[in-house]
Amino acid sequence: MARKLWATRGLAALATGAMAVSLTACGGGGAGGGAGGGAGDGEEGGLVGVAMPTETYERWIADGDAVKTGLEEAGYEVDLQFAGDNIPTQQQQIDAMINKGAEALIIASIDGTALGSQLEAAAAADIPVISYDRLIRDSENVDFYVTFDNYEVGVQQGTSLLTGLGILDENGEEAADASEGPFNVELFAGSPDDNNAGFFFDGAMSVLQPYIDDETLVVPSGQTDFGTVAIQRWEQERAQSRMEDLLTSTYTKGDVNVDGVLAPADVISRGIITALQNSGYGKGDLAMPVITGQDAEAASAKLIVDGDQYSTIFKDTRLLAEQAVTAATAYLEGNEPEANDTETYDNGPIVVPSYLLPTVIVTADNLQAELVDSGYLTEEEVASGQVDE
Q: Are 223 and 186 in contact (CB under 8 A)?
A: yes
Residue ranges matching CATH 3.40.50.2300 in the chain: 11-142+317-357, 150-314+380-384
User: Residue 116 in 3-state DSSP?
Assistant: helix
- Distance CA(104)–CA(253), nearest Å, equals 55
Q: Which stretch of 11-15, 78-82, 309-313, 371-375 has the lowest confidence by average pLDDT?
A: 11-15
The rounded distance, in Å, linking the Cα atoms of 381 and 60 is 17
- The C-alpha atoms of residue 232 and residue 142 are separated, in whole angstroms, by 24
Question: Burial level of 218, CB count in 10 A (0-12/13-18/19+)?
Answer: middle
Of the chain, the percentage scoring pLDDT greater than 90 comes to 81
Answer whether 195's CB lies under 8 Å from 135's CB: yes
Please state, for a pLDDT cut of 70, what percent of the chain lies above it: 88
Topology at the third CATH level for domain 150-314+380-384: Rossmann fold (3.40.50)
pLDDT band at 15 (very low <50, low <70, confident <90, very high): very low
311, 289 contact by CB (below 8 A):
no
Confidence class of residue 4 from pLDDT cuts 50, 70 and 90?
very low
Q: What is the pLDDT of residue 56?
A: 85
Q: In this predicted structure, which of 31-40, 292-301, 339-348, 361-370 has the lowest mean pLDDT?
A: 31-40
According to the model, what pLDDT value does residue 175 have?
87
For residues 180-205, give the mean pLDDT. 96
Compute the average pLDDT of residues 268-274.
98
pLDDT (0 to 100) of residue 253: 64
For the cut 90, the answer to whether the pLDDT of residue 210 exceeds it is: yes
Amino acid at 128: P
**Bridge pairing between strands 217-218 and 129-132:** unpaired
Question: Which residues have C-beta within 8 Å of that of residue 162, sequence separation ≥ 6?
Answer: 168, 207, 208, 211
Beta-strand (E) ranges in the chain? 47-52, 77-82, 104-107, 129-132, 144-148, 183-187, 217-218, 260-262, 290-291, 312-314, 354-357, 360-362
Mean pLDDT of the chain: 89
CA 315, distance to chain mean position in Å, is 7
Query: Would the pLDDT of 40 be above 50?
Result: no
Q: Quickly name the fold that domain 11-142+317-357 has.
A: Rossmann fold (3.40.50)
How confident is the model at residue 254, as a pLDDT? 65
- Whether pTM > 0.75 for this model: the answer is yes
Q: How far apart are CA 278 and CA 253, in angstroms?
A: 12
Average pLDDT of 114-135?
A: 97
Q: Which amino acid is at 29?
A: G
Q: Side by side, which strands form the sheet with 47-52?
A: 77-82, 47-52, 104-107, 129-132, 144-148, 354-357
- Residue 352 · residue 142 · CB < 8 Å: yes
Q: What is the mean pLDDT of residues 198-209?
A: 98
The predicted model gives 273-294 an average pLDDT of 96
Residue 255 CB neighbour total at 10 angstroms: 6
